[in-house]
Structure 1
């Protein structure tokens, strides 16, 4: 990774300024993800506030930013479209309860099972997805209601300001680190954009440089034109255009709003019965899994960047509490936001104050500063995100292809490709873990073998090497010649381990074969873990255990 995320110590000033920077970048993201979910833009903004505030205070990773995310929005859109927005809020609450249960059950440590090639593929795929998502900001709405790419003078001005933003972020730290470079870039480019929009006229009277307010109005117009449009690459979707039109408090193209109130004061309550639970429970399970996987992966990434360690189980509880409160106040739920977290880290945010500042500033934008925030040009935010892409991509992984095992390269490319083409980070990680586990099992299935010799009593001793588990069972069985072996056979597990029930079943099968031929089978040098498995097997394994105190052999441990 490039030295984009420079190491720096935490300070209150850096946390406040970086939180303000993140809040500015959160506005268009929250609006876009609300359109993905088919709900009002204000629901997305309120969700980002609650999720960001509560996880910043109670979560397990200081400096990590949480809010409304696209990963959860794509799950929500089906629920809202099929059953209505009223079912969304109890679903989010149930999702939060499940996340708390997982945290209290200390299952957050399962993130340790993610192999490094999966992490590399996840990070690289994510960087590509973030970069491609910015292309939507280079589109405008045609008279026919279709999104088309900019051209001519608007495109050149847009590119110029994007490049200017990136240059400021890159060059400013060389001269001063008193202010976050991203924040300075956004402010300077905003002033330039306002001047350009006031002095450059367009035929239709619209701004030549699109702003946050323009993006909101464009999305609303697009929702009126079509039920489903090709807006996925722009970070928006219109799968529930009618819901947006009916519920959007921002129909006039503004993010201005009041204080959030409980959902039961705004919407009709759904019946709390078994039928409702059958509807919302599958969605809650998916939201819980998607949210925690993305959050824990982000936590791991921030850990590596800051060279500190977060608390996965505490993060699960914090995310769950945030989703419960978010659901109670009519929010769409959320989880950790990787792009905004990287902006925060790059801007110097290291403590919980940065996340709290981002959430409070976001609410202040909605309550008091909407007209000014809507003047921020999309070019500035695109430039910031492009720099995040450059800093996120593991460029060193391109040089590692020739040195990495082919299986690891395959897993990395698989996860990255799935992330890019399917836009599903959680499924990409799960797929990578499954493939890595299968590759591991396949490789270790061939590592089992046995050396055979006879002792002074005529007993045949098999010195086993390698793990005995489901993938190596077949090779294990082929090692023994029951008919030709003597009456007394010993299997020495000094260099081996039994890992699962398949291994126990193989031992039981072998014992029955020897017993059927009137021969005795002994096991020696079983590790404590292996003996524990044999004890748990009950009557499954019926074999004799050799007694040999000199070699610390298990004695009288008949299953």
Structure 2
């Protein structure tokens, strides 16, 4: 990496350093309750999630493919590993996380990042909206069974977050909100929940250690299914988040490098006693809206979190949860695509249906992967249905017999429309012109076979003309009755 490239990716001026540092500090504070909460979900000590967030954020800032994106311990991975920790213990979690990282690096080698090309805009919009709803819902437990002071602090925090930028943008308003509310809460000894109430914060620095598990085939059998699921879920959420940050910043990311970077970061996280993780859209939105655009902000998020845990743990533990709830509500509001509501009438019904199904499945299952999978499958079904309707067969008669003109894409979804258009010709010569058609799969070839066989049983002489090269190759390879004769320049049917 040249020095100019380094400056471009990390910082270009003192103003960049200041802005990126402040954005990273905001993110570090927002990571603490999330990491503790995800640790609790997994059934492990809070330090496992916190150390993972430190390691992943720092490592990904160097080797990731998307500047300013935040990666750390996440709920998507935490939910997957809960049974593993319960049945086999924390050391197996660390081993599974290392194998997860290996799979993600392998995914980069195999270019599985290209799968993102098959995720439609409607699915991405549904993913974003569902995540915004989940982020908001995750704050509700902090607003139940509490005194009016918590609601007042949340309202005050939101007021600072949205009104301060009208006066000045020198300091990120979420950071100001956290500091001001913390000072008020501590000074007045308000009866509100604090970060320390969520779990015991670790003291000291993490240390490197290999997982204490037997190196046997039995261990591999136990962790393999979990590692595969963690790797898939982590990459899916990371690549979708990268696409969202691309859109927010109007820049491009290196998806292949991001896959490998996620793998390397998870391996390091496991070696320092952390759980697996991936990109976090909520914290990434906080970073971008706070001014983060470079790798420096991601590094500062991890490094400052490490500083807080090692040095300022008691102070961090006194930060009021309403302050962080206000920040996360801001993230939920900013993440939700409000235009998508207005576009429900303007966009095609199929696109709106895909978006709504993605949202519904994610919110119902709290599983982003299931929602995206449902959206992608529904998009594919709608697309196939649309292409199916574009196939047409025109029949004309003349002195030389009957001519069928086939136009459009002939594949598994359209073969019924094609075959049903051919009539019994009672021995009349038949010419099938496919010059405006394309055969995509063996279903299309099979349909042509069926048509030719049926017409011949009725005594017709059948000739097929107009194959393109790709269709001819497919027919020559898989047709049962005839070959195209494409190489000879004739079509002997």
- SS for the counterpart of 1:438 is helix
Alignment of structure 1 residues 135-146 onto 2, 5 Å: 135-139=140-144
Q: Which residue does the alignment assign to 2:465?
A: 524
Q: Which residue does the alignment assign to 1:342?
A: 285
Shift of 1:113: 1.1
Q: Which residue does the alignment assign to 2:62?
A: 57
- SS for the counterpart of 2:414 is helix
Does residue 504 (structure 1) correspond to residue 451 (structure 2)? The answer is no
Does residue 533 (structure 1) correspond to residue 474 (structure 2)? The answer is yes
Shift of 1:540: 3.6
- SS for the counterpart of 1:87 is helix
Alignment of structure 1 residues 373-388 onto 2, 5 Å: 373-388=316-331
CA contact (8 A) 1:96 1:322 kept: yes
Q: Which moved more, 1:433-442 or 1:383-392?
A: 433-442
Q: Which residue does the alignment assign to 1:176?
A: 168
1:260 to 207, 222, 231: 207
CA contact (8 A) 1:67 1:334 kept: yes
Q: Which residue does the alignment assign to 1:213?
A: 196
CA contact (8 A) 1:507 1:541 kept: no
Q: 1:499 to 1:345 in 2, by over 3 A?
A: same
Q: Which residue does the alignment assign to 1:423?
A: 366
Does residue 195 (structure 1) correspond to residue 187 (structure 2)? The answer is yes
Q: Give, in whole Å, the separation in 1 of the partners of 2:473 and 2:295.
A: 44
Deviations 1:278-323 (A, max 9, x none): 2111111111111111111111111111111112111111111111
Cα RMSD (Å): 2.3
Q: 1:492 to 1:539 in 2, by over 3 A?
A: closer
Q: Give, in whole Å, the separation in 2 of the partners of 1:386 and 1:82.
A: 35
Shift of 1:485: 5.6
CA contact (8 A) 1:522 1:545 kept: no
Q: 1:57 to 1:554 in 2, by over 3 A?
A: farther
Does residue 44 (structure 1) correspond to residue 46 (structure 2)? The answer is no
How does the TM-score come out when normalised to structure 1? 0.81
CA contact (8 A) 2:20 2:296 kept: yes
Alignment of structure 1 residues 451-462 onto 2, 5 Å: 451-454=394-397, 458-462=400-404
Gaps in structure 1 of 5+ consecutive residues: 1-8, 140-148, 201-207, 217-252, 548-552
Q: Which residue does the alignment assign to 2:253?
A: 310
Q: 1:558 to 1:86 in 2, by over 3 A?
A: farther
Q: 1:27 to 1:546 in 2, by over 3 A?
A: same
Q: 1:60 to 1:527 in 2, by over 3 A?
A: farther
Shift of 1:16: 1.2
Shift of 1:391: 0.8
2:482 to 531, 543, 547: 543
Shift of 1:465: 2.2
Alignment of structure 1 residues 101-116 onto 2, 5 Å: 101-116=106-121
Shift of 1:515: 4.8
How does the TM-score come out when normalised to structure 2? 0.92
CA contact (8 A) 1:34 1:44 kept: yes
Q: Which residue does the alignment assign to 2:8?
A: none
Q: 1:515 to 1:339 in 2, by over 3 A?
A: same
Alignment of structure 1 residues 98-497 onto 2, 5 Å: 98-139=103-144, 149-150=145-146, 155-197=147-189, 208-216=191-199, 253-264=200-211, 269-454=212-397, 458-484=400-426, 486-494=428-436, 496-497=437-438
Shift of 1:555: 2.5
Give the number of the structure whose residues are more often helix, by fraction: 2
Shift of 1:135: 1.1
Shift of 1:359: 0.8
Q: Give, in whole Å, the separation in 2 of the partners of 1:121 and 1:554.
A: 52
Q: Give, in whole Å, the separation in 2 of the partners of 1:107 and 1:317.
A: 11
- SS for the counterpart of 1:67 is strand
Q: 1:285 to 1:254 in 2, by over 3 A?
A: closer
Does residue 67 (structure 1) correspond to residue 59 (structure 2)? The answer is no
Shift of 1:262: 1.2
Q: Give, in whole Å, the separation in 2 of the partners of 1:360 and 1:557.
A: 70
CA contact (8 A) 1:522 1:546 kept: no
Q: Give, in whole Å, the separation in 2 of the partners of 1:190 and 1:91.
A: 38
Q: 1:489 to 1:420 in 2, by over 3 A?
A: same
Question: What is the number of residues matched between the two proteins?
Answer: 480
Q: Give, in whole Å, the separation in 1 of the partners of 2:478 and 2:177.
A: 71
Shift of 1:263: 3.7
CA contact (8 A) 2:396 2:404 kept: yes
Q: Give, in whole Å, the separation in 2 of the partners of 1:450 and 1:511.
A: 15
